Every structure is written in structure tokens, then in C-alpha cells.
Amino acid sequence: MSRSHISPIERHRRLDVDFRTPGGFGRLTSVNHSIVGLRFIYTGLFFFLVGGLLAMLIRAQLATAESAFLGHAAYNQIFTMHGTVMMFLFAIPVLEGLALYLLPKMLGGRDLAFPALSAFGYWCYFFGGMILLAALLLGLAPDSGWFMYTPLSGSTYTPGINSDVWLIGVTFVEVSALAAGVEITVTVLRIRTAGMSLDRMPLFAWYILVTAMMIVVGFPPLILGSILLELERAFDWPFFEVARGGDSLLWQHLFWLFGHPEVYIIFLPAAGIVSTLIPVFARHPMIGYGWIVASIVATGFISFGLWVHHMFTVGIPHLALVFFSAASMLVAIPTGIQFFAWIATLMAGRPYVRLPMLYLFGFLVVFVMGGLTGVMLALVPFNWQVHDTHFVVAHMHYVLVGGMVFPLLAGLTYWLPVASGRMPSERLGVVAFWLIFIGFNLTFFMMHLTGLKGMPRRVYTYDSGLGWETLNLLSSVGGFIMSIGVALVLLDLFLHFRIGQRAPRNPWGAGTLEWTLPKPPPSYNFGSLPRVESREPLHDTPDLPRALAAGEGLLAIPRPDGRETLAVEVVSGRPAHIVKLPAPNWMPFLGAVFTGVFFLSFLLKLYPLAAVGALLALGVFLRWAWSHGRRQDPEPLRAGEGIKLLPQAAVPAAPGWWGLLFTLVADGTVLAALLFGYLFLWTVAPNWPPPAFIELQPLIPLLGALALLVGLLAARGALAANRRAAAGMRGIWLLVLLLAGLLAAGALLAIPLGAPPPQTHAYFAVTAVLAGYGAFHCLLGVVMAGFVLLRCRAGFVSALRQLDLRVLQLWWDYTSGAGLLILAAIMLLPWVLAP
Amino acid sequence: MSALDPAGPAADALAGVWWVMLGGSFLILGAVVALALYAIYGRGARRSGITPRLLIVGGGLVFTPAVLAALLIWGIGAGHALLPLPGEREVYRIEVRAHQWWWEVTYPDAEDGPLHAANEIHIPAGRPVDITVRAEDVIHSFWVPRLGGKIDALPGHTNVIRLEAPAAGVYRGQCAEFCGAQHSRMALLIEAHETEALEERLALLSPTRESDSAEAPGAAAFQEHCAVCHSLDPRTRGATPAPNLADLPHRATLGAGTLPNAEGALLRWLRDHQDLKPGNRMPRHDHLDPETLEAIANHLEGPR
Amino acid sequence: MSAAAFLRPRALLGLIAGYLIWASCFVSLYTLQSVGCALALDLPAGPFGLNATTLVLVIIWLLHLAGLALLIHRTHRSHPENEHASFMRRVSLILHFSALAATLWVGFPVLFLPPCA
């Protein structure tokens, strides 16, 4: 290892060899965050066009009364897919892509915490999107609305494959969102450059951090709902069917428990774009940084207390509606604070107006209107009137287009020079902006009135003479004006990459780290990592780009096969250890292909093949996990500035441990949603109590509980033995863990097997899912224990290198806790609540 | 069908709050846009005395919460006032069962037992009406905008909504929750009558009609082809409920608002209903010859 | 709360502690209201003519408010050691105060609305 100075060219050559993605088929192996992020953005924009095309078909159909353009069958697929595509395949993935692309560049890292995970996520998104797109082209697309209310989406009223396509395709895509959620959370918390404490982080990273946490907690309820509905459709387990103890309202709760936070999951990153651009174009640091951080966190929480405002008309007691009405209004306050902080910053600075600012102006007008109608809708009695009318269609588009598309266009124009090295065109861009702005308002402002005049949503045709014709025609005209604007944006983008003017290094005069990079950025981002002293390091040190390329930062001397970046302490940003990033590899692609085999076989009801797909995917993941770590205890490595840091293999709280922690948060939310469903059915569903309660010998649950406790102790025992370097004891504990896990899984599975079949009543079905959830975790824990045992044999684990055991322990802490909770719910609830 | 042309206390209150909120919204929007433009283009913006603290604290922590608190408290009161709570005034009762894609209407308190009808509800003017709503298949939503808000019709649950029509007249409603293929063609009419007119109208829901003699050419055909689902007797719901046809000649529309019940409309409906309202639950009648259809139509229409 | 507490990873938990209490209050109010109505506890059974469900809801609400007040008190008393810690303390205080206001805001209707109508 050379301590001597190396030239910038030499540094570039050595780093690029390590980080570069190979060509040809090797592109499929890419894990580089710039490439994966751009793939998310391109694919998302493609789906935006698909969704936009569907919107045009909708507007063409509704332009006139009693239109003969589309029939009800086509229309219902089209409007369902418009919502599904825009929400799941455009909005979330594009913002994820933007975050994945930008975060390391803004935080001063060479890549994300788990580059291979986000690559895997991309392929899940890609394949899931293709399933939905294929269904659309084959005319088999879902047609029960993007909200998929049961019983309409159930097998009685939608016997075809349409609903299954939605449930399976969307769940596949959500795997990708969850992957990104965990990825981003750990990246923002740990993978930053030296000195970037939480209070110096770009606001964009705060927004994305809260968004990612919201994904981790917000998506699981819908994933659970989708699994339950698919179980009902495929195997006749009655979770939502009233006659057998289910309740269609359970679906609505699970859907909106996801669906409302989803709106903020889309809005917050966009607001993050606004908070990034405003100080740049105001030429003044952001005012009220702390207030904004608090507002973001508050928004993240409160947005989980709004979901019932989508259900104000289902007949819930007024007091409960008032809780949600109050929370729905409450969420306007942090949003308002951000608006006032933006205006204050503009007032304090010397603003100048370029194309991105124009889009921000569009955002301001449109989103404020969406927010105001949102407050109106939060008002219970007014909601009773306009719910499920075109008024809500108008509101929702004002919020989503205003709160996401306009900021996104601002952000794309702003950051284009980072990716392309060219400046966006002002002329074409301005025309496109005004077309979109005018077209949008013409389309959707009218819909407020159409809705108030009594036009419900989701109708494929309407009678003339009800006063809706003119408004609808104007909406359609506006829609086509808006799409011309979008087409101009595309033309602009195309021309941009061909003939755009070369951009200077820091064209807008920004202060954040992504503008220190050469354009387009190299595969490794930073030649050396900066030490950051403030929120706007580039303003402190305008010379930073040269200094970093010249190796005046940290990790300036690339070690062979190094691919290193820094991990920092969460709050202070002090360098904590060195993270070794993965090389391009086939795991993400193959893992997603086999996961796809699982989902697609399930969709086609080829269940044995689905099992094969799942096992192959598991095999790929285990093989991937095996490739990590090292067989010797590492020495601390020189990081520059006289600092020596350990590599992650020797660190207890390595990113992998954090990743599992947040995965378990998502997992725990699934369980919480399941327990909520259990309690909900018990107290609200009409056909309860069930014909019989499960009566068990106390032996089986006691045995299960005992096995879970032993598992908990054994995982901890193995870790403790390892710390004492007692390899023999460690092996014994791991064997105990294996057996205890198998026993616990068996005991849990024995409960539904000894009960009447799940098809007979929702009670038995929910019990079976609860027990299955516990048993699944135990079995996965057994596989992990066996895996770690082999890793110990192979010499990957030592008193210093204990990550494998720490991960195993965390898993079993969760599994034991969850298993005991499940046993308690199954055994005690009948005892408490049964009459 | 417009909520902005309200009739009755519930809809009046809702339209009133709409106009107030609309005005307030335009004021706020105007103020925010003006403030932003002033911040960007205003020459004296930095000397204007509008400090960041004033904006964030005054705007974010005082103004917004104050407006919202007022709205919330008003909303709680207004919402509470619309609930179907027991009160002093006598309430007229109606039961509605929503089907794909029509409304089954029951008058539970009719003399001599409940009367069943479809797609039209006749109520007394100037009296509160409690409508009990449920669904027989998927979720629907009961909504008559000029009279008030909506309430969902759910399988397995019953919900009640209180409406009041101040004067005699016809009020159109429509299913508001997406319910499948013909969600668009699921209208209903509420007709409010003065007391005597209501009695006369309900008297038309009568099991016996002049044309019901067995000799009527359509009667046998009706029995053979239609009576499995449809009933002409308002006292029976039928095994697989389809719209009760007792007062069919007197209804304003056919097919839950699909076409006006004008001269010849019924025959057209019987012939082409799957083109007029594709996917509806009534099978095609292609196997019946035109004469039979005409006889059935005549039988159903009776002497007009 | 000791000074260094603001620099540990757990400080993140401290940042959101107020809103965790808010969330707990919100979920408890909604759940207990549903269960109370399902078990038909809305008949007047408690003191002051209050029905049992309302009484439970008010108690739950007050407990959460007390918890928030305690949290604010403890955060307020702490002395941050450096700029990072002082930032965390400031944002925590804003968040805890707003969580207190939010808990007051969503909970006060239990005082005067019938629970199950």
C-alpha cells in the first residue's frame, strides 16, 4: 500500500477500474448508484408517458356526454391503470431514482450503503412494471379501481385474472420501494462524509430520510392487504367476505393506512427539491433550517393519522371521524411553516429567476390550491358532499401534480447539468412550462365545479342535460394542452442531450457537494472525500472540486480492489469506519429474476413452480451473503488526515446490521397491521363470533413459547460465546438455536392444522396467517442459524468479526418477540373477548 | 344534480360552508402568491420589515392554526347537527338496498306491511327522512347532492343518512362509489310530495292491476321468462331480487336512469338493454320473438 | 437526559419521542373508541353522567398529555455539549411542543362529543 502522493489521473484510473460497470451483458450486473438511479428515473418517466396516454384516453372519452369512444370494460381498465401506473410505477420510483442518484453525491459518499440492494430493487420494479404493462396490452389489466375495494375486486365480482395482476404486480414493485426505503435510511444515517453532522446535512437528505422511514412503515399494510386478498382469491380464505366473517372495510383500512402516507411519501421528496432550490435561487442560505427539519418529521408522523378521511362516508362514528378530521387539518401546519420559510428565504436573499424557479412558481400556486381544497375535504360534513366526485379528482391532482410533478420538473431542470454537463434551454422550457401550467389548471380547476355539480368519479359515461358537458369539454381541452407541454419537455430533453450548451462546474451557484463533481460525474463520484464544516461546503471552499480531485480529502489513496467509502457516526458525522462497496455482480438481476418467477408462477397458479422460484431466490441471496466478510481479523486502515479506521467487517454496528434493523421495522409493521386486522374483524365484522373457538391443549402453545425463549437465549449465547472466543460453545448454542427454531415453527403450525380449515371462517383464516407468519420467521431463522454455523466453520467469524452473529441475534430477538405476541394473541384473545 | 343548488337543511349548510371556504381560499391563495412575487421581485423586500420570524411565527404558527381551529370547531358542530340522532320531529323511514346496478327501495312503515319498489324513492316534503342503506353485493354509495351528503352502502353493515326535502319536487341521485361495469348508470330519483300526493303515489304500488287478468297475452310470457327474478307484487322481494315492477308504468326512467320511460321506451329496453346498459345483470332476450317482447311490454305497461 | 445523549444514535429516537407519544395517543383513542362502541359501553355508567367509553378516552388522553409534559420538561433541562447536540435539542423541543399541541388538538373533541353516534 502506497503512502505516497498519486496524481489525479492515476487516482481516477485506479478508482474507475473498481467502480466502473462493464459493458455488453455486463450492464445487467451494475450496482453503481448513478446508473441504477438513472434507470429508475428513465423507467419512471416512461411509465409517466404510459399513464399520461391513459389519461388522454380518459379525457377523450369524457369530453362529451354519452360518448361512444370507449366501452365500460376498456374504460374501467384504463382509469384503474392510470392511477396504478402514476402512483406505483411513476411517482414513487422516479423520486426513489432521484434520491438514489443524488444522495451519495450530496452527502459525500462514493455509493449507497447497499448498492446491490437498490440494483435488486430496480429489477423488481422493472419486472413488476412489465407484468402490469403486459396485462394492459393484453386487455387483462385490473379494472376495480387503483384502490381495489373488496368485494368488487374479489373473485365473485372479478373472476378473471385482472385483480391478481394488480395484487401481484404491485406487490412486486413494492418490494423495490421497501428496498429503497431501507437503503436510503441507512445511507443517510451512516454513509456521509467526514464532518457532515445531522445539522449540516442538506435539507434534501432530511426530506428523503423521513420519506424513506415512511416507506418502511407505510408500505407494509398494503403488502399485507394484498397478500390477504390474494389468499382470498387464490385459496378462498375469507378475510373480506362478509358471509364468512370477513369485512370489506378491513381492506379499506389497510389500503388507506398505506394510501394516505403515500401522498406524503410523494410530496416530501418534492418539497425537498423545493427546499434545495429556493436558497440557491434566492442566493441566501435557507432560513429556519431547524423549523423545516421539525416540520418534515412532524409531517411524517401526522400523515399516518389521516387515513380515515378517505372513509368519512363508510359509517364510522362521528367522534372517530373528528379525530381524523382534526389530524387532517393539523398536517397543514408544518406544510405552512415550510411555505413561510421559503418565502422568508426569498425575501432575505437576492432572488434571480431561471427555468427551475418558474416551475417552483407553478408548484407554489398549484400546491397551495391543492392544500386549501385538502383542508376543505378534511371538514367532515363537506367531505360527505364531495367525496368520490370530480371535486376530489381535482383536489388530488392539484396536490400530486402541484406537489410532485412541478417540483420534479424544477429538480430535473436544476440537476440536469450534473448528469449531462449541459445547461437546460430557457426558451423551449419556458413555453413548455406555460403550456403545462395553463393546461393543467384548465383541466383540473373545472373538475372542482364538475364535482360540485354532482358528477361522481370513475364514470365512463354521463347523461347530457345535467350541466356537466361544457366543464368536461374544457377539462379535455386543457388535458390536451398539458400533454403538448409535456411533449415539449421531452423534445427539450432530447435536444438538451444533443445540442445543450456546456455547463460550468457550478452553474447555479449552489453550495452543496454534488456541484463539486466533474460533469458527467465519474463512477466513483469523489476522488477523495471532503471534510465538511458547514451546510454549504462549496461556498466555504470554492476550490473544493480541484482539491478533492487532487486528493486533499479522505480515502485519497485507493487500495487495490478497495471500493471504499466512509461511514460516520449518526449524529456528529465523525468518521466511524470504512465501508467496502460491492463490485458489479449478478446477484441483483438473478435474485429479481427468480423473485419474478415466484410472482409470475403464483399469478398463473403454478404453485410448485412458484416454490421453486422462491427457493432459487433464497439460494441467490445466501450465495451473495456468503461472498461477504473476510477470514482474517483486519487491521485499522489509513483514511487520510492521520485517521485510522476499521473496515466494516470488524465493526459491530455495520450498515448491514442497520439494514436488518429497518427491515425488521417494516416486518413489524406487517405484524402490527395483521394484529390490527384480527382485532378489527373481531370487533367490527358482522358475522362474529365464529362458529367455534380454537381449543388447544395448553401443551402446544407452551412448547412453542418455550422454544421461542430458548431461541432468544441461544442466539445471544452464541454471540456471547463468540466474544469470549469460545468456538465450541458457540457451535453448541447455534445447534440449540437450530433445534429450538424448528420446534417453535412446528408448534406454531400445529395450531391452524389442528383447527377447522381457514376457508370456513375469517377467524380461522386470520389465525392461520398469524401462525404462518411466526413459523415463517422461525424457519428463516433456522436457515440463518445454519448459514452462520457454516460461516463459523469457514472462518468468517471471530471475536472481532461478529457481524454474522449480531445479525442472527437481532433476527431472533425479533422472531421470538413476534412469536410470543402471536401465541398470546391466538390463545388469549378468545379468552378475553369471547362472550 | 348540483350541490350548489341546494334544497333542504343538510345541503344548504354544506353549500353555505363551501362559499365561505371558497372565498377564504381565494384570499389565502392571493396573499401567498402576492407575498411570493413580492419576495422575488419586490425592490424593498429586504427593508420592508417583514422579518423571517414574523413570517414563520406569525404565518406558520399563528395564522394557519387559528384558521384551522375555527374551521374544525365549526365543522364538528355542523357535522353533529347532520347526524340522524333522535329528536323532536317525526321521522319518515326508508330502506335502500344497493345492487349492481340498481336501487331496491322499501317502505317499511307502509300500512299492511313493507312495500318494495326500485330506483325511485317517494318521500314527504318538509319532513326529515332517515334512509337506511346497505349493499347486497359490492360497495355502493347513496348520494342525492341537492339534498345532502352521501353515505356508503356496504355489504354486512347498515348506515343511516338523514335528508329533508323542503318542497315537493324531483331530486336526482347517483351511485358515488365505483361498483363495477355499470357504475355510471346507477341513478335514482327522490321525489318529494305533499302528504296526500304521497299517499296517491304509494297507492300505485299495488299488487292488482287491470291488465293482470290471465288472458292478457303478456301475462303468461312474463310468468315464463321474467318472474323468476322480477315481481309485480310490491309485497314480495323475490328470491333473487331484481327490480320490483309494480309501478313500472309510473316511473320516470328505465334501467336506473338509463333512458326516460317514454312511449315505446320499455320495448326498446327489453330488446336492447345490453346495448343501452352493457353488462347489466338481466340476460339478453334474443331468444324471444318480437311479438312476445311486445306482449310483455304491454303487460308491464298496462293501461297508461 | 444527559448531555452526550444527543450525540448517540438513540438521539434519533429522542427526536421523535414526542410524536411517538402523539401516535400512541391517536391509536389508543381510535382503538378504544371502536372497541368501546363495539362492546356497547356508551351507556352512562361512570361518574358525572359520563359514559364509560368517554371516561376511558379522557383518561387516556390526559395520560398522554402528562407524558408529553414530562418529556418536554426533561428535554428542556438538558445541557447540550456542542453545536450538534444543541441542534438536536432545539429540534427535539420544537417537535415535542408541537406534539403536545397536536395531542391537545386531536383529543379535545372527546370532552364533548358522544362517542358512538
Q: Assess contact for B253 and B266: CB atoms under 8 A.
A: no
Nearest to C113 among B65, B72, B76 (CB): B76
Amino acid at B207: P
Return the higher-pLDDT residue of A297 and C32. Answer: A297
Indicate whether A2 pLDDT > 50: no
Residue C3 resides in a domain: no
- Closest C-alpha among A828, A825, A488 to residue A672: A825
Q: How far is CA A688 from CA A244, A577, A679, B196, B271, in A?
A: 9, 56, 12, 45, 45
The DSSP output letter for A85 is I
| SS3 (DSSP) at C50 | coil
Nearest to C117 among B65, B72, B85 (CB): B85
* Residues with Cβ within 8 Å of residue A234, at least 6 apart in sequence: A164, A602, A605
Name chain B contacts of C105, Cβ cutoff 8 Å: 69, 72
Binary contact (B68, A333; C-beta < 8 A)? yes
Indicate whether B222 pLDDT > 60: yes
Q: Assess contact for B150 and B112: CB atoms under 8 A.
A: no
- Helix (H) or strand (E) run with residue A770 in it: helix A762-793
Binary contact (C113, B83; C-beta < 8 A)? no
- Cell 402446544 belongs to A700
Indicate whether A1 pLDDT > 50: no
How confident is the prediction for chain A on average, in pLDDT? Answer: 94
What the block records as the C-alpha cell of A784 is 440463518
Residue C97 resides in a domain: yes
Distance from CA of A680 to the nearest CA of B (A): 14
Domains: count for chain C: 1
Indicate whether B209 pLDDT > 70: no
Binary contact (B83, C109; C-beta < 8 A)? no
pLDDT tens, position by position, A54-90: 999 999 999 999 999 999 999 999 999 999 999 999 9
Indicate whether B137 pLDDT > 90: yes
Q: Calculate ∠ Cα A675-A676-A681, nearest 5°.
A: 100
pLDDT interval class at C3 (50, 70, 90): very low
Nearest to B76 among C101, C105, C109 (CB): C109
* Rg of the Cα atoms in chain C: 18
Q: Calculate ∠ Cα A665-A255-A443, nearest 5°.
A: 120
Name chain B contacts of A322, Cβ cutoff 8 Å: 76, 79
pLDDT interval class at A831 (50, 70, 90): confident
CATH topology of domain A652-833: Four Helix Bundle (Hemerythrin (Met), subunit A) (1.20.120)
User: What distance in Å separates the CA atoms of residue A284 and residue B177, rounded to the nearest whole number?
Assistant: 49
Q: Assess contact for A641 and A531: CB atoms under 8 A.
A: yes
pLDDT tens, position by position, A198-224: 999 999 999 999 999 999 999 999 999
pLDDT, residue C2, reads 45
Phi, psi of B135 (to 5 degrees): -120, 145
* Residues with Cβ within 8 Å of residue A344, at least 6 apart in sequence: A287, A288, B39, B51, B52, B55, B56
pLDDT, residue B124, reads 96
Binary contact (A457, B176; C-beta < 8 A)? yes
User: What distance in Å separates the CA atoms of residue A752 and residue A758, rounded to the nearest whole number?
Assistant: 8
Amino acid at A235: F
Best C32, C104, C113 residue to mutate vs chain A (most A CBs within 10 Å):
C113
Numbers of helices and strands, H then E, in chain A: 26, 4
Q: Span A292-311, mean pLDDT?
A: 95
B207: preceding bond cis by omega (within 30 degrees): no
Amino acid at A726: A
pLDDT, residue B175, reads 97
User: What distance in Å separates the CA atoms of residue B125 and residue A162, rounded to the nearest whole number?
Assistant: 46
Residue C89 resides in a domain: yes
Q: What is the largest CA-CA distance in chain C?
A: 56
Q: How many Cα atoms occupy the beta-carbon half-sphere of A672 within 13 Å?
A: 14
Return the higher-pLDDT residue of A194 and B227. Answer: A194
What the block records as the C-alpha cell of A515 is 456541484
pLDDT tens, position by position, A352-386: 999 999 999 999 999 999 999 999 999 999 999 99
Residue C59 resides in a domain: yes
What SS3 string covers A498-529?
HHCCECCCCCCCCCCHHHHCCCCCCCCCCCCE
Residue C117 resides in a domain: no
Q: Assess contact for A429 and A416: CB atoms under 8 A.
A: no
* Residues with Cβ within 8 Å of residue A605, at least 6 apart in sequence: A234
User: What percentage of chain A exceeds 90 in pLDDT?
Assistant: 91
User: What distance in Å separates the CA atoms of residue A308 and residue A315, rounded to the nearest whole number?
Assistant: 11
Binary contact (A348, B76; C-beta < 8 A)? no
Residue C116 resides in a domain: no
What the block records as the C-alpha cell of A378 is 378534511
Binary contact (C113, A323; C-beta < 8 A)? no
Tallying the residues shown for chain C, one arrives at: 117
Binary contact (A323, C34; C-beta < 8 A)? no
pLDDT tens, position by position, A755-785: 999 999 999 999 999 999 999 999 999 999 9
Nearest to C113 among B65, B72, B80 (CB): B80
- Helix (H) or strand (E) run with residue A120 in it: helix A115-138
Q: How far is CA A211 from CA A181, A207, A308, C93, in A?
A: 8, 6, 21, 22
Q: Span C23-47, mean pLDDT?
A: 79
Q: How far is CA A91 from CA A54, A57, A158, A388, in A?
A: 15, 20, 27, 22
Amino acid at B23: G
ipTM of the complex: 0.96
User: What distance in Å separates the CA atoms of residue B94 and residue B123, rounded to the nearest whole number?
Assistant: 8
- Closest C-alpha among A242, A298, A225, A233 to residue A268: A298
pLDDT, residue B304, reads 42
Q: Span C82-91, mean pLDDT?
A: 92
Adjacent-strand bridge partners of A579: A565
User: What percentage of chain B exceeds 90 in pLDDT?
Assistant: 64
Nearest to C117 among A317, A327, A570 (CB): A317
- Residue-range definition of the domain harbouring residue C42: 11-111
B 147-206 residues with CB < 8 A to A: 148-152, 154-159, 172, 174-185, 187
Q: B137-165 burial string, b = 16+ CB within 10 Å, else e?
A: bbbbbbbbbbbbbbbbbbbbbebebbbbb
Name chain A contacts of B52, Cβ cutoff 8 Å: 287-288, 341, 344-345, 347-348
Q: Span A267-282, mean pLDDT?
A: 97
How confident is the prediction for chain B on average, in pLDDT? Answer: 90
pLDDT, residue C41, reads 58
- Cell 378475510 belongs to A239
Nearest to A197 among C26, C29, C84 (CB): C84
The DSSP output letter for B1 is -
Chains touching chain A, criterion 3+ CB pairs below 8 Å: B, C
B 235-294 residues with CB < 8 A to A: 257, 278-279
Residue C73 resides in a domain: yes
Q: Span A304-329, mean pLDDT?
A: 93
pLDDT tens, position by position, A538-552: 999 999 999 999 999
Return the higher-pLDDT residue of A216 and B59. Answer: A216
The DSSP output letter for B115 is E
User: What distance in Å separates the CA atoms of residue A683 and residue A704, rounded to the nearest whole number?
Assistant: 27
pLDDT, residue A438, reads 97
pLDDT, residue B46, reads 61
Q: Span A108-121, mean pLDDT?
A: 96
The DSSP output letter for A28 is G
pLDDT tens, position by position, B143-187: 999 999 999 999 999 999 999 999 999 999 999 999 999 999 999
Distance from CA of A447 to the nearest CA of B (A): 13
User: What distance in Å separates the CA atoms of residue A618 and residue B196, rounded to the nearest whole number?
Assistant: 75
Indicate whether B39 pLDDT > 50: yes
- For chain B, the straight-line distance linking the first and the last C-alpha, in angstroms and rounded, comes to 28
Chains touching chain B, criterion 3+ CB pairs below 8 Å: A, C
Name chain A contacts of C107, Cβ cutoff 8 Å: 323
DSSP string, A302-371: HGGG-GGGG-TTS---HHHHHHHHHHHHHTHHHHHHHHHHHHHHHHHS-----HHHHHHHHHHHHHHHHH
Burial class of residue B281 (count of CB atoms within 10 Å of its CB; 0-12, 13-18, 19+): middle
Distance from CA of B57 to the nearest CA of A (A): 8
pLDDT tens, position by position, A811-825: 999 999 999 999 999
Return the residue of C nearest to A292 by Cα. C91
User: What distance in Å separates the CA atoms of residue A501 and residue A421, rounded to the nearest whole number?
Assistant: 8
Q: Calculate ∠ Cα A282-A284-A286, nearest 5°.
A: 100
Amino acid at A433: F
Query: What is the residue extent of each domain of chain A?
Result: 353-497, 588-623, 652-833
Best B80, B130, B162 residue to mutate vs chain C (most C CBs within 10 Å):
B80
If phi > 0 it is left, if psi is from -120 to 50 it is alpha, else beta; for residue A145 that is: left
